[in-house]
Structure formats: C-alpha cells, structure tokens
C-alpha cells in the first residue's frame, strides 16, 4: 500500500551577516583625528548593537588624501572581501570611500559581483539596490569635481606665496621655516658644509652617504641617506641664500604626481632671501664638478627591474627590503641576485646580509609551495612576505598566517662548471705543473 510521509527538515537558521566599516579623514589636524576616533567608536557600537550582525572589523586609514591609492587598510578591506570574510560595509560617504570616480565604481562593482553591499550613510545609498550604481556614478563624479576644486584652491594659495617670494615648505636639512622665512639649524648646517667639502675633495655621492652613516649620522631628517638625498643637497640653490620657487608642480589632482617645471608655469628667483650656508663660489664649483663627472661616464639605464619578489623580501638585520641586481655582468659568474639595499648602498660594515641568487630563491619558493616549478600566481596568492633573519635562511610568511623556515646553500663554483670549463682548467693546471718542473730542474 502506497504511503506518503512529510519529510521534516532542520529549521533553516539565517547566518549572521558579517559587517565591517571603513573610516578615513582628509587631513591630520587634531579635529580630524578626533573625528577618526569618533567614527571608529560609532561603527563599533552600531555593528555590535545588532544581534543579526557579526562584527567583521573596522578598517581605518591614516589621514592622507583620498585621491591617492596608497591606503593600506582600504586595500586590506578589499582583499578580505575577496576572501569571503565580509558581507556588508558601512562608510560615512562616497568622498571618504574614494574621490576618484573610476576607483569608486571599479571597487563597488567588484564588491557587487561578490554579493557585498556597501552602505554610504551620508547619501543613504546601498550599492546593491536598483538605483545604487546610477546614483553612485553621479555622486562620485560630484565628489571628484569637489576634490579638483579644493586642489585648484590650494594651488592658487601656493602660487600666490611664490609671487610674493615666500617658500611653501622648509623641509630641508640645515633650515627650518619659521613665519615664512628660512632659519639656519647650526648642527645640521655643519653636515651640509661637510657634504659640499667632501664632494669637492673627490668623494662620490655613495661614499659621502656611507661616511655619514659610519660617523654617526645614521639617518637624514625625513629618511635615510642615499645617493639621491646627497644629490638633492648638492644641487639645492637655497643653501646659497637664494630661492628658485616653483621648480616642480603637481600634474593633476588625481595622480598627485610631481613633475619638473620646464616652462609650463612661471618660476620666481628670490636673492638674499635668507642666510646662506654655502658660498656661491663653492656651490658653482660643485655644479661644475657634477657636470664634469657626468661627462666622464656614459649614462646607464636607471629603469628598475620589477619582479614578483619586489618589496616582498625583508632583511631582519636592518629592516630594509632586498632588491634585484645583475651581478658579474659579462663574466662566467653573470647572474641575477637579490641584495639587501643597505648592504648594496652602504656596505658590509653597516649590514652584512648575504645576497640570494634569483634561481635559488625561485627554487625554494616552489619547494615551500609544493610545486615542481615556480608559479608567480600561486606565490602572489599565498605568500605575504619573505623574511631573511640570517645567512642561508628564509622565513616564508603565508597570508593565511603560518611561517615556514627554509635553508639554502650556494652551490660551489665547480658544480656550475661545464665540461669545457673543466677541461680548460685541467689544461691550465697541467701547464703550470710543467713550468714548475722545468724551473726546478
């Protein structure tokens, strides 16, 4: 006899929605920093008040311009969305999320494809709603125009200062800008004089940077010593008491790229504007010496080699990154190797980190990732960074959390020899032995 029974299912429980928030302010003034703190506190309270929501974190960037794409927390937020950790994002407004229309729409569209809703409180817009993208396009365009207007106002204010012969900033070694005028900082001025004297005495820029480091001046205000920081000092006319204003300008309000002024905008020369650190004759002598040395050397390529490992390898001895170098060019030992930037620029006495051959690094990565050959896509997806604590040691830090230590060895030179190289070496040694026997007879 046919029977029909109702199948009982376990009651469906709607999973809690994982909600995060993104906060940012436009500048680092005290009131804005307080606003950032208030935003974080507000979102913490808002999300945790709703029992159907699960707190997925607050992502808050330092107060830098929203027209830039170097927002670490924002990028982390997007990455966590891609990894399926977030269902919804709260943010104050479109202008706080991004002022660039393309960035806003590209990000929101990607999140929409992932099923993630972005709620803009000020505009009361849900990105997953029917009208969400149309409204976002209009409002994001408005926000971008507002950013352009603010940028133009700032440019006008700065150029007005230049017309009056006043500098916009005084962030340079040897001087401080006080009430619109540059004032000498005595101990820093001595360093500047020593740099000019060393260059005229025959030192190169790298040798000067190394000397400053070794003699105790480990860092330059605002950064570390490098050949570029030395070049900027040696070519800065402000050290003679003269200012040339608007030598560079910001190309546009989106990229914020600063470019050299080749006549696109007026420049203003202000003589005897402040006390000099370097005499005009010494400054001119240095410029002539720079030109003389440049003429002696053919220009070399300054194009940087970008690799999947760029900015990923960290030296634990000095804290700086490794970069790629082509070593022993034109010899049988010609190879690509990764070097600590401190070792490369300042020498072994400052950082004795060992260089890592590129082919060994790739082989170790493949081994750690369980691959037969190195795969860039797999590396990018799984490895956050590689740390170098000691010679022949690598620590792979996975994005998922684990750290795996690996060891490597440089193959001896004889292992890399071809049969032809080995035969040539034998013939040379036989010739040396023959000459020794003849001389002893």
According to DSSP, the residues that pair with 126 across neighbouring strands are 119
Q: Cα 394–399–404 angle (5° rounding)?
A: 30
Structure confidence at residue 379 as a pLDDT band (50, 70, 90): very high
pLDDT of residue 249: 76
Are 343 and 324 a contacting pair, CB within 8 Å? no
Does residue 63 surpass a pLDDT of 70?
A: no
Of 65-74, 85-94, 233-242, the one with minimum mean pLDDT is: 65-74
The mean per-residue pLDDT over the stretch 67-90 comes to: 85
Which of 79-93, 122-136, 287-301 has the least mean pLDDT? 287-301
pLDDT at 28 over 60: no
For residue 163, how many other CB atoms are within 10 A of its CB?
Answer: 11
Residue 142 CA to its chain's centroid (Å): 30
Please give the pLDDT value at position 258: 76
Confidence of residue 71 (pLDDT cuts 50, 70, 90): confident
Query: Does the structure show a pLDDT above 70 at 29?
Result: no
CA distance 349 to 356: 18
Residues 426, 428, 430, 436, Cα dihedral to 10°: -150
- pTM for the full predicted model: 0.49
For the stretch 168-178, pLDDT in tens is 777 788 999 88
Domain ranges across the chain: 17-149, 164-296, 313-410
Q: What is the pLDDT of residue 32?
A: 55
What does the alpha-carbon distance between residue 391 and residue 250 come to, in Å, rounded to a whole number?
A: 44
Q: How far apart are CA 272 and CA 243, in angstroms?
A: 8
Residue 299 clears pLDDT 60, i.e. is over it? no
* Burial class of residue 197 (count of CB atoms within 10 Å of its CB; 0-12, 13-18, 19+): middle
Q: If you average pLDDT over each of 143-152, 257-266, 393-402, 431-440, which comes out highest?
A: 393-402
d(CA 91, CA 362): 41
How far, in Å, CA of 287 to CA of 57, rounded?
54
Q: Is 345 left (phi over 0), alpha (psi -120 to 50) or beta?
A: alpha
**Short-list 404, 318, 378, 385, CA closest to 354:** 318
pLDDT interval class at 403 (50, 70, 90): very high
The pLDDT score that the predictor gives to residue 199 is 93
Residue 136 pLDDT > 80: no
Strand pairing category for 88-91 and 53-60:
unpaired
Stretch 7-25: mean pLDDT, rounded? 78
Task: Report pLDDT digits (tens) over 330-377.
Answer: 666 678 899 998 888 777 878 889 999 999 999 999 999 999 899 999
pLDDT higher than 80, residue 413: no
53-60 β-sheet, strand order: 53-60, 17-23, 88-91, 117-120, 125-126
CATH class of this structure's domain 17-149:
alpha beta
pLDDT class of 436 with cuts at 50, 70, 90: confident
Rg (CA), the chain: 30
What pLDDT is recorded for position 179? 82
The pLDDT tens digits of the residues spanning 246-269 come to 887 777 766 667 788 787 888 888
pLDDT score at 66: 47
Q: Are strands 117-120 and 125-126 parallel, antiparallel or unpaired?
A: antiparallel
pLDDT at 431 over 90: no
Q: Is pLDDT of 87 > 60?
A: yes
Quick one: pLDDT at residue 369?
A: 92
Q: Is a pLDDT exceeding 80 seen at residue 288?
A: yes
Q: Return the pLDDT at 301.
A: 44
Which fold does the domain 164-296 belong to in CATH?
Hect, E3 ligase catalytic domain fold (3.90.1750)
Position 143 confidence tier, pLDDT thresholds 50, 70, 90: low
> Is a pLDDT exceeding 90 seen at residue 159?
no
Q: What is the DSSP string of 140-208?
A: HHHHHHHHHHHHHHHHHHHHHHHHTT--S---BTTEEEETTEEEE-HHHHHHHHHHHHHHHTT--HHHH
Which range, of 32-41, 94-103, 217-226, 338-347, averages the lowest pLDDT?
A: 217-226
Q: What is the mean pLDDT of residues 197-223?
A: 79
Q: Please name the helix (run of DSSP H) or strand (run of DSSP E) that holds residue 97, with its range, or none.
A: helix 94-97
Residue 391 has pLDDT above 80, yes or no: yes
Q: What are phi and psi of 91, to 5 degrees?
A: -145, 155
- The residue-averaged pLDDT of 211-231 equals 74
Q: Does residue 125 carry a pLDDT above 80?
A: yes
pLDDT exceeds cutoff 70 at 65? no
For the chain, what is the largest distance between any 2 Cα atoms, rounded to a whole number of angstroms? 118
- Residue 338: predicted pLDDT: 94
Confidence of residue 10 (pLDDT cuts 50, 70, 90): low
């Amino acid at each position: 006899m046919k029977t029909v029974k109702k199948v009982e299912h376990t009651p469906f429980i709607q999973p809690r929605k994982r909600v995060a928030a993104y906060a940012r302010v436009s500048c680092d003034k005290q009131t804005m920093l307080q606003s950032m703190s208030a935003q974080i506190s507000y979102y913490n309270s808002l999300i945790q008040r709703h029992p159907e929501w699960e707190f997925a974190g607050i992502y808050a960037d330092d107060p830098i311009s929203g027209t830039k794409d170097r927002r670490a927390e924002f990028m982390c937020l997007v990455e966590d969305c891609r990894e399926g950790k977030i269902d919804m994002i709260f943010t104050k407004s479109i202008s706080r999320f991004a002022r660039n229309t393309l960035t806003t729409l590209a990000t929101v569209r990607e999140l929409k494809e992932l099923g993630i809703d972005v709620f803009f409180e000020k505009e009361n817009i849900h990105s997953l709603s029917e009208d969400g993208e149309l409204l976002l396009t209009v409002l994001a365009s408005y926000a971008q125009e507002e950013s352009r207007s603010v940028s133009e106002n700032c440019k006008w204010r700065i150029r007005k200062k230049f017309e009056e012969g006043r500098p916009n900033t005084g962030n340079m070694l040897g001087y401080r800008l006080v009430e619109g005028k540059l004032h000498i900082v005595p101990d820093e001025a001595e360093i500047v004089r020593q740099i000019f004297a060393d260059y005229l005495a025959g030192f190169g820029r790298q040798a000067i940077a190394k000397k400053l480091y070794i003699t105790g001046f480990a860092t330059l205000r605002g950064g570390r010593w490098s050949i570029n920081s030395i070049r900027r000092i040696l070519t800065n006319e402000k050290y003679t008491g003269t200012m040339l204003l608007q030598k560079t300008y910001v190309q546009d309000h989106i990229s914020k790229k600063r470019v050299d002024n080749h006549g696109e905008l007026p420049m203003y020369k202000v003589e005897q504007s402040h006390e000099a650190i370097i005499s005009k004759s010494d400054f001119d002598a240095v410029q002539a010496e720079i030109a003389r040395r440049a003429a002696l050397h053919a220009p070399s390529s300054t194009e940087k080699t970008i690799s999947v490992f760029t900015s990923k390898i960290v030296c634990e001895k000095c804290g700086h990154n490794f970069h790629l170098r082509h070593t022993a060019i034109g010899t049988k030992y010609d190879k690509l190797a990764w070097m600590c930037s401190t070792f490369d620029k300042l020498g072994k006495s400052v950082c004795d980190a060992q260089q890592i051959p590129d082919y060994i690094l790739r082989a170790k990565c493949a081994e750690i990732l369980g691959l037969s050959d190195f795969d860039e896509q797999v590396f990018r997806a799984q490895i956050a960074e590689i740390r170098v604590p000691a010679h022949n040691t690598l620590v792979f830090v996975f994005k998922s959390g684990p750290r795996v230590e690996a060891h490597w060895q440089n193959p001896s030179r004889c292992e890399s020899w071809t049969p032809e190289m080995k035969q040539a070496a034998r013939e040379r040694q036989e010739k040396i032995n023959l000459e020794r026997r003849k001389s002893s007879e």
